[in-house]
Structure 1
């Protein structure tokens, strides 16, 4: 049996029965293989969980990369499209994949470390790639919130609402000629008591 099918079985056990039920015996039974057959691929429960985490990261990385054309703002738009592609999947299998990986690894800092590193990488993007870095952060965080909502309430949005959400987030991430100024880069306000400042004349100190 392929590793992917064994990982699918582990995710199903976890999603349907909870963390305590995730044992090698339960996964082997769900996959329809002997425990020895499972141990050939994953000699320990920790090895199984590491593979679950790695699959989540590798699949999402590959999907975002395939959608990112390198243009201004394209990374965030690719992140949004990848999120909606996964969460809008018909079988729901990949919808629960990230939830399963997080849940299985959450109690072990070593097991969850790769996912934390990936999350930091997904959300700390070079500002030079974004026409409006702050709006891009807001868009990615909104998309990130969908993972949590859909993992627990997959039918909360109908098709019309789902399409409207994706369209709005993509529009927010689109490059425009009227990018709002960054308050962090604005010059300090002059002292209210200062006289009008002619162009090129420094304020008094």
Structure 2
């Protein structure tokens, strides 16, 4: 439980103040613990960033899995559908979790820190599920969702809720063909 609170505090510092402000002291202060208490769980800033990266990857994997579970067996293009739905949940959900991702990705700019995220991207985008009726379209749809995520991360007001919903429906519709 304490690790989660420390990660929450680190994400808050990142999203509110940017990567330059992410220091162990700032995170400890935000979490209301001593620096030693933080160091007990995360001995370095790099360890803290690694844990934040791992957490957002796990959360996205869990979202994909929850959508896959909700579909049941035999849904054509289930993985890509789940990927799109999970992406839009992050983009449009109340938490607006894409801001967390943007901040954490920026904090993990070092190649070693970014490798777990790169590996997750290879896994999410490199697979060609057997249930995709058209693997090429599925790949384009996943890449379009990823590109939209990047654009919205940089300019959150560019698309309103109606536009995002229309884009979600359009991407899912492409999988029907």
TM-score by length of 1: 0.79
1:11–1:100 Cα contact (<8 Å) kept: yes
Report Cα offsets for 1:141-181 as digits up to 9, x if no partner: 1100122122222222122111111111111122x4xxxxx
- Is it true that 1:80 corresponds to 2:84 in the alignment? yes
Q: State the 1:83 CA deviation.
A: 0.5
Distance 1:157 1:23 in 2: 33
Distance 1:140 1:110 in 2: 25
Structure 2 partner of 1:124: 126
Q: Name structure 2 gaps, 5 residues minimum.
A: none
Structure 2 partner of 1:97: 100
Q: Which has the higher contact order (CA 8 A, sep 6+)?
A: 2
Distance 1:127 1:95 in 2: 25
Query: Which aligned pairs between 1:138-149 and structure 2 lie closer than 5 A?
Result: 138-149=140-151
- Is it true that 1:15 corresponds to 2:18 in the alignment? no
SS in 1 for 2:121: helix
Distance 1:170 1:3 in 2: 37
Q: Name structure 1 gaps, 5 residues minimum.
A: 177-205
Distance 1:136 1:14 in 2: 33
What is the alpha-carbon root mean square deviation over aligned residues?
1.6
1:95–1:151 Cα contact (<8 Å) kept: yes
Distance 1:86 1:4 in 2: 19
More helix by share: 2
Structure 1 partner of 2:38: 38
Tell me: CA distance 1:127–1:89, structure 2 relative to 1, closer, same or farther (3 Å). Answer: closer
Structure 1 ranges of 4+ moved more than 4 A: none
Q: State the 1:39 CA deviation.
A: 1.4
2:79–2:129 Cα contact (<8 Å) kept: no
